Structure formats: C-alpha cells, structure tokens
Structure 1
Amino acid sequence: MNNLAAVNEHVDLDAIDQGVIALLREDGRMPYRSIARELGVTEATVRARVKRLEESNTMRVVAVTDTQAAGFDLLLAVGVQVEGRAPEAVAQDLARIEEVFSVNVVVGTHDVEILVMARDPGSLKTLLADTLGSIPGVRRLTPALAIDVLKNQPDWVPFHDA
C-alpha cells in the first residue's frame, strides 16, 4: 500500500485497537509483550495492530517535552497584528523560532496567534522585542502571560469509541 492510500484509509477501531491506544497513552514505551499480556492477545497481534494504526495515521507514538523540566518557566499567548505582508508569510517566519511552539493564522482581533515559552523575564524581553518584533510584517504584539495553567494536554486528539 502506498503512503497516500494509507493516509486516506479509514480504520474502524475495535476493543483491541482501543486497548493498545489506551495503554500506549499511559506509557508510550510499554513493550509489546506487556501490552499483549494486558489485553490477552499475542505479541504478534499487538505488533500488527500498532503498525496498522501508525500506517493509517490513526495513531502516532511521540515524545513530549516537559517544558518546565527543560527550563521554560513562562508561557505566553501572543496576538500578532500583521501589516504589509500576508499573515501566512509572517506565520511561517514565526514557526521557525525555537521558543514558539504553536502558530495559528486566525480571524479576529489578531491575524496570527502564537504560544511561546521563555526561560525568564530577561529572555522574554529579548524574545518579544528583538526576535518577534523584528520579523517583517509584525505591526503589533499583544502578549498575555499565563499565571495559572489549568490544562495543558499536548497529547490530546479526538478519540471516539468504535
């Protein structure tokens, strides 16, 4: 099967698929043997299910960085007003910046909204004034510092029962 066909393939999830996904959500490095034992199936079955789920783009197992453990203590949502360039072009430039981890072209008060992380107030000042502010087309930045993060779920994806 070529990659294009795999991307467009719809996969109906049965109880085994859902069990594999649930266990890998708890521990993405869980051995297939342990998954098989938990679900009462063979290791070969688990291996085949994971392969099918990954090839159909139904599931991906990825590493997620703990941003605080990596030294980023400040989280900001930043609205970006654009002038003189297409918002998509400015968004592409913003997406190349290491501290920017989410970029969205939007309709509303701002043209682009980004989420950024900073290590400390000094690096935040440099990020806002020197890095973000120097991108051609950026007219105005409207930062909002997160003072209490109630939910940050980077592994969230819609998941419906079969």
Structure 2
Amino acid sequence: MNNIAATEGPGQIELDETDQGIIDLLRDDGRMAYRAIARELGITEATVRARVRRLEDSDTMRVVAVTDIEAAGFGMLLAIGVQVENRDPEAVARDLAAIAEVFSVNVVVGTHDIEILVVAPDSAGLNDLLSETLGRVPGVRRLTPALAVDVLKNQPDWVPFHGA
C-alpha cells in the first residue's frame, strides 16, 4: 500500500488548492497515474508532473510504501511493556529495535522502561518471540504483553498536516 506524507514547516512551500488536490488523490492511491490525477482535477498532465516534482523537491510531500501486516503474514499485533534491570534502557531499546518483528520502540517514563509494538504470525510464533527472542535480550527483566483484539485505528500515514 502506498501512502503520502505531507508536512508543513519552516522552508516549506505554500500549498494551493491544486497542490492539496494532488496530495489528497495520492493519499487515496499512491500509484495513481499523473494522467488520472490531471483528469480528476481538470488540469494538464504536465502541470501534475511539475507540481509533484515541486512538492517532492521541497520535501513537502513524499510517496512511501506501508506494509499491511496481515497481508505480510502476521496475524497478531501486540504492545509490550518492557522492564529493564542491570542495563541502560537505551541500550536494551537499541537491541530490541534490531529484531525484525519489532516495528516500534520507545524509551518511556512510567510503569515500564520501554514500550514496543511487535507482530507475530500466530500464537506459536508469539511464544517463540516472547520467550526465545525478546526475553533473552540482555537487561530485559519482565515483558508485559497486551494483545490487540480489535484495532480501531492504525494510521501509518498520519502526519500533523493541515491543508491550505
């Protein structure tokens, strides 16, 4: 799945209605042809091409691929709290970040020292991940997994962006 990240900040270009239209269409379908965008917006294909280039060159927009975890074979999504003992939490976090099934790592203040998001294909894979992989990282004292039973929002393309 392709998604568009659009940001505004210092040095960014001013977006007009045409730019916003292009961004909106590409957010819906990151592979949409310039000809189709032009037809939708009532502008020329050359204008779309020039605008997209300008948006990308100014780092205002970029098209990125986002993996659908279920399509990739992972049926389980978990948030896991990690308590650390006898080791710097940042070092443990770096080790956890190197594990393929871990896709988000945050050093936090609270009940846990680190919070991670992980995927597993099934319960057997989850058991291996927890006991054989995550549990064996030096400094990991306790893992507190929370299985996502109903994902209400997972928006990997979200950015703090407000249209023109």
TM-score (norm 2): 0.87
Distance 1:85 1:53 in 2: 44
Q: Structure 1: which 4+ aligned runs deviate by more than 6 Å?
A: none
Cross-structure match for 1:18: 20
Task: Find the residue that maps to 1:61 and give its secondary structure.
Answer: strand
Matches within 5 A, 1:16-95: 16-95=18-97
In the TM superposition, what are the counterparts of 1:114-153 in structure 2 within 5 Å?
114-153=116-155
- Asked if the contact 2:12–2:59 (Cα under 8 Å) also holds between the matched residues in 1, the reply is no
Q: Using CA pairs below 8 Å that are at least 6 residues apart, which structure has the higher relative contact order?
A: 2
Q: State the superposition RMSD in angstroms.
A: 1.6
Give the corresponding residue for 1:4: none
The Cα shift of 1:8 comes to 5.8
What CA deviation, in whole Å up to 9, does each residue of 1:23-75 have, x standing for no partner? Answer: 00111100111111211222222122222222333222112221112211111
Q: Is the 8 A contact 1:8 1:56 kept in 2?
A: no
Aligned residues: 156
Q: Is the 8 A contact 1:78 1:114 kept in 2?
A: yes
Could you tell me how far apart the structure 2 residues matched to 1:53 and 1:83 are? 47
Name stretches of at least 5 consecutive residues in structure 2 with no aligned partner.
1-8
> Once the two structures are aligned, what percentage of the paired residues are identical?
74
One-letter amino acid matched to 2:46: A
Match of 2:26, SS? helix
SS of corresponding position for 1:98: coil
2:99 alignment partner, one of 97, 105, 108:
97
1:107 corresponds to: 109
Task: Tell me: CA distance 1:85–1:57, structure 2 relative to 1, closer, same or farther (3 Å).
Answer: farther
Distance 2:112 2:50 in 1: 46
